[in-house]
Amino acid sequence: MRTYSISALLILILAALMLCSSVHAADGSFSSNVTAGKYPMTFTDSADRNVTIQMPIERIIVLSTDAAEAVELMGAEDMIVGVSDTVQKYSWTFPNLKKKALVGKWSAPDYETIGQIAKGNEDSITPNILVLGYPSGKMAGKSYAVDAVEAGLKPFKNIPVAGFSFYKADSLDEELRKLGQILNKEDKAQEYIAWKSSKREAIASTVKGESLVKVYFESAQPKGLGELKSNGAGADIDRSIRLAGGINVFGSSKEETVTTDWETVIKENPDIIFQAKADDMMGWRAFPSSETAAAQKARDEIMSRAGGSAVNAIKNDKIWILYRKILYGPGSVIGATYMAKLMHPEADLDPEGAYKEYLDLLGVDYPEGRTFVYPELESD
């Protein structure tokens, strides 16, 4: 009999748990201090979600380096109150964000911390805060996409979340325009779009009429010659290559990433080889430094690959290691300018000057004594 009573107690506990689950959260109300006209503002983010903001945004939490860069482009850096680990790590491009509060990993934000930051010293959350994350993505069994962030922040009720990629070439302009509207910085968005357009124009007009150069682009340092990573026509880097007056040897593939082997590359016989190399600082310290030594090693590895003497690029010593950051994101036109200058050395282009202009838009100082392509371009 007594065992049954203990079991009955257990069942009662389970029933209590079920009841607890149905206890709903109390409302966290706020005083609606809505400025007439524009608010509440509703927009669609890049994950096709309708996001509503109740009042002007004064605080931003960025969960990705791309979002941080976009906010910097809008000149709204001061509004950032929380950053993810990657933003803190890349402190060279975000010198003013080093001291901001850490909200967790970019792939696993800490919702308690975000709630803590959002509430500040009050016991409620004024909805003038916006969280910017990626529109989609899954990694390591968890989703870091905007839906997961929204679900995690749901208990707080007053924290709008928007998902923008801020790096995909075909949606970037539109996303920056939207961000400009949200932050009331439409003019800054327009300034960037106009600048990018003029840079693209400059490249296109200079390389017009030049013969196309066959490019083999290696997106990462390979682990083995049987497994090289490149990109096809589905990738933004392919667009940059074509803009710069080149043909991507794997441009016939519609995929974004292409896994290939060295034999295929020999068959394609590119005229120039680019390898993207990551680094967590802005560019590499000028030669001689440990970073340029690493770039030299990468270059030597390519030069020494078996069968290299049959490849034009290796025969003519046209191999460059490119700093990854200038190839992707809102500053990718810089990478295109560098590639154009490397492919067509007589072209009237100034990649370094262009990069200075871009960093001006970001409000970051140009780092002197840094290398962005290795071997370095001879300065005019």
Interface contacts to another protein, rule CB under 8 A: 2-4, 6-7, 9-11, 14-15, 17-18, 20-23, 25-26, 28, 104-105, 108, 110-113, 115-116, 119, 123-124, 138-142, 152, 154-156
Q: Measure the N-to-C terminal CA separation of the chain; round to a whole number of Å.
A: 95
Q: How far is the CB of 275 from another protein (least distance, A)?
A: 20
Alpha-helix residue ranges (DSSP H) falling in the chain:
2-21, 65-73, 85-89, 111-119, 146-153, 169-182, 186-207, 236-243, 262-268, 290-303, 312-315, 332-343, 351-362
Q: Is the dihedral of CA 34, 40, 45, 48 positive or negative?
A: positive
- Which pair of tokens denotes residue 247? 């043909």
Q: How far is the CB of 140 from another protein (least distance, A)?
A: 5
Cα separation of 375 and 14, whole Å? 68
Complex with another protein: residue 49 or 285, whichever CB lies closer: 49
Q: How far is the CB of 279 from another protein (least distance, A)?
A: 22
- Amino acid occupying residue 86: T
Complex with another protein: residue 12 or 212, whichever CB lies closer: 12
Cα separation of 217 and 265, whole Å? 10
Complex with another protein: residue 9 or 306, whichever CB lies closer: 9
According to DSSP, residue 195 is labeled H
Q: How far is the CB of 377 from another protein (least distance, A)?
A: 35
The region, left, alpha or beta by phi > 0 then psi within -120 to 50, assigned to residue 74 is: alpha
Q: How far is the CB of 76 from another protein (least distance, A)?
A: 26
- Which pair of tokens denotes residue 304? 């020494």
Neighbour count for residue 256 (Cβ, 10 Å)? 14
Complex with another protein: residue 6 or 36, whichever CB lies closer: 6
Complex with another protein: residue 10 or 310, whichever CB lies closer: 10
Complex with another protein: residue 276 or 339, whichever CB lies closer: 276
Q: How far is the CB of 26 from another protein (least distance, A)?
A: 7
